[in-house]
Structure 1
Amino acid sequence: MKKLIFILIIVITACRNSSDNQPRDLRLIDVEGGVGKGRLVKLSEIAESIEYIPLETNSEAVVGKISFDRVFYENERIYLVLQNMSIIFFDKDGQYLNKISKYGRGPQEYDATLTVDIDLKTGDISVLAYNKIVEYSLDGDFKKVVNYKDNDFLSKHNIIGFIKSDLNYFLRSTINDRSQHSGFLIDSTARLLLSVEYPQEDYEKVTTYSALLSIMNPMIFRHKNAIRIKNYNRKNEMYII
């Protein structure tokens, strides 16, 4: 059954608009012509049920501003990534479970929360920091760190996302005039196992027009027990790992 879960948080957050229209060619979009042609979509059209979950609030679970709307629901747990670099998680009923607050430059800490990935089997939390991935258990205990900055090839790329796949990690890279790769598969020692190149023709087009760089970055996501990376190009290419 499809279920749409809304999490009630007594905070004031900024709203961000997003668009599913990602350009594959340099085209003129008639924005003015589309004004007044939209419609409101009812929640009943996309969900069979709606559940509101009030989150427990205590001295350890004070929810501040959420970082880039990062709210995850996996394994019947709710994970919130806050702007103060903390990660708070609750059970499916909103009861507070634990908090990870390891911001710093130590070997078992993270100096950024660029993105977070949840292990679908164990619930462990992996944090993408600058040049490394740090993994913690549900108890907040440090488990391991993957320092991909030690790999000379990877250190030249700007890694902006990742997904953990069993014992390996699939990294997502930005597209720029120094890198023609959109993704990499590495093991827990940061050894490069696989790389995915951005199609040459589209790469030249994107890097020529710098305004397209951010919106033409590849996407990475899980689908049907596989990891898929999608390059934005005319051929609509997708790679399955």
Structure 2
Amino acid sequence: MPFGFDWCRRGTVRAARTAAVDDDEGWLDARCVDILKRSPGSCVACVLHKERYALAKVWDRRRMDSLKIASLENEVKALRDAQIQRGFVALASSPDTVALVTEYYPGGDLDRRRKRRGGVLTEAEVSFYAYDAWAALKAIGSLGWAHRDVKPENLCIDARGNLRLVDFGLSKFCEGGRCRTACGTVAFAAPEVCDVALGIEIDYDGHAADLWSLGCVLLELKTG
């Protein structure tokens, strides 16, 4: 069994209901189909249970420091409180691992889509995805949340071809819409976020910074 999936062995884990999923559905008995991404102390995998696929982000509990724990707790809070993730989200844990189980998007992310298309997308495709991404950012912004890591890898395509915003580990509920810390991916970061990273003490509009990042994403999709 691949790293991280001892959590799904019957009788070895506890599950905490955090949103729409009912523990009775038995996601803790899901079978690992494929490891999509692996890094030291964690992995992302596609799992299958009762003919339904899901995405599992799994961490080695022994390697989780306070920052990783805070990031996981923040992501669960964002997904639950803001109702960002359609469908369900479940949190499972064992003595060795912690797993966040969410909807699986079979179309992959925009970075993979762009690369499969030879490095660029058509103007029609970019326009279609631009509207979906803008709508998602508008929705979370209206609830006071900033994503803070908008990039092609965090924009996934669902079974209907629509775009879904994922990975809320760096998201933040901003009082008055203002943020004071820098995070995210440098290539897609807004200038004011870079200023904070350089030590300039300012606050900035988290929603506006997300929109800047989206603009960078669209530029990459169109020009490569």
TM-score, length-normalised on structure 2? 0.25
Q: Larger % of helix: which? A: 2
Q: Which has more radius of gyration? A: 1
Q: Larger % of strand: which? A: 1
